Amino acid sequence: MTQRIFFMLVIMGFCTMWQKADAKNTLGKPVLSGPSRSLVGSVEEFYCKLDNIQTNEIILYELFNEVNLYRAMGEYSSHSKEEATFPSLITPDYDGTLICKASVQNNSEISPTFSTWMNFSVVVPVEGAHIISSPPSEELWERDSVTLQCNVTKGTYVSYEWFLNDRLLLNDSKKLHISSLSSKDSGKYVCVATNYLNETDYYNSRSDGRNVHVKEHLTKLEISFVVIKNVEGNFSANVKCQVNTVFSEHQYALFTLPITLDQDMGMMYCQANMGKGQLQSENLDINVESVGGTVTMTLQKSTGKDFEVSGVLLNCKVERGMHPHYNWFINNARLEGQGSFYRTFHPDNSVLTVSLYPNSGSAGFYHCEAFNSFDNTTRPRF
């Protein structure tokens, strides 16, 4: 009797062990499904399911993000082998890689199983695009470097576009780096930040303009002057100091100096400083010689077919004077501008061309007069 009872107990214990060992193999690999991309603040559902469940115990499904595997983002207890559903209010915490864990509830002897990782993107609409400059100054020197960065106050999965003076640049990154500035880089920079939920739902934010002013290094400084006569009959020199190659609002400076004609007023020079070194002009002699002396006129002929004279070129030159100007006359009548048979050349009108053809009115007596360009009262004549 005692032997039978012992045998029966051994058999029953073995069966119990077999059932537990078999239960470990009843949980297969769960399958996690759901959307791959959602808008923050929306409500979505994720699903997790075990196929061919071979136990009648309650299955606990848990949803995790890989950044925190110690805190479940959702739980579902399946009493009837149904698929687990995780209704979720989407927050930025959901962004990343999700995984579903399946285990037998209240039975730690059966090992849990895990689904394959599933990527999930949380789209936060982009807002508050603005440009940060390093260095922060808007005034930069040529050959300097600058980095412009397009920051946003909100937004995930953002792409970028850059514009210079409304022209699209070939740069789609968050940062725009220019290693060696030149004048062509001057202007207003704007960045546009964009993200999207799907093919139809787009969001974008446009920054305010960021001005970049590239200053050129001084290469040459020029000094010059013009003579002015005021209403009282007094003369002065308007001295101009100018840089022609600098992209600046201040390309020249003016200085007025009272002068006396035909008297040496001394030497002048000017200096300019753009913040990186100083440049000095050549010396300028302020000595204004009045027009005077003999006026000479030379003639060159122009021949056509059969060596006939078809025109002449007249050149007028006064003996002295720093700023002469010339007028031309035919039969004591002044030739103004350009006519049907004549034309003047050079800023000082020192050259006159005359076309000779019948009935043109070009025949006659020509002479020229020279005078100070700043004072037309002195007129030596030839």
Range 292-372 classified under CATH 1.10.1790.20: no
SS3 breakdown of the chain: % helix, strand, coil, rounded to 5? 10, 50, 45
The answer to whether the CB of 38 falls within 8 A of the CB of 90 is yes
Q: Say whether 381 sits in a helix, a strand or coil.
A: strand
* C-beta of residue 41 within 8 angstroms of C-beta of residue 89: yes
CB 270, CB 223: distance < 8 Å: yes
Question: What's the pLDDT at 12?
Answer: 32
How far is the first Cα of the chain from the last one, in angstroms, to the nearest whole number?
Answer: 161
- Mean pLDDT on 318-330: 90
Q: Which of 138-152, 303-317, 323-337, 348-362 has the lowest mean pLDDT?
A: 303-317
The class that CATH gives domain 130-215 is: mainly beta
Quick check: do 21-122 and 292-372 share a fold?
yes
DSSP 215-277: EPPP---EEEEEEEE-TTS-EEEEEEEE-SS--SS--EEEEEEEE-TTSEEEEE--EEE-SS-
pLDDT tens per residue across span 141-172: 889 999 999 999 999 999 999 999 999 999 99
Looking at the domain 21-122, which fold is it? Immunoglobulin-like (2.60.40)
Statement: residue 16 has pLDDT above 70: no
Which pLDDT tens digit goes with each residue over 23-65? 445 688 999 999 999 999 999 999 999 987 877 889 999 999 9
CA-to-CA distance for 183 and 140, rounded, in angstroms? 10
Mean pLDDT of 211-218: 86
Instruction: Determine how many CB atoms are found less than 10 A away from the CB of residue 278.
Output: 11
Whole-model pTM over 0.75: no
Structure confidence at residue 273 (pLDDT): 77
Q: In the chain, where are the structural domains located?
A: 21-122, 130-215, 222-287, 292-372
Q: Helix, strand or coil for residue 52? A: coil
Q: Kindly report the number of other CB atoms within 10 A of residue 162's CB atom.
A: 22
Contact 221, 272 (CB under 8 A): yes
Between 132-136, 204-208, 301-305, 352-356, the lowest mean confidence (pLDDT) is in 301-305
Cis before 135 (ω within 30): yes
Per-residue confidence (pLDDT) for residue 7, from 0 to 100: 31
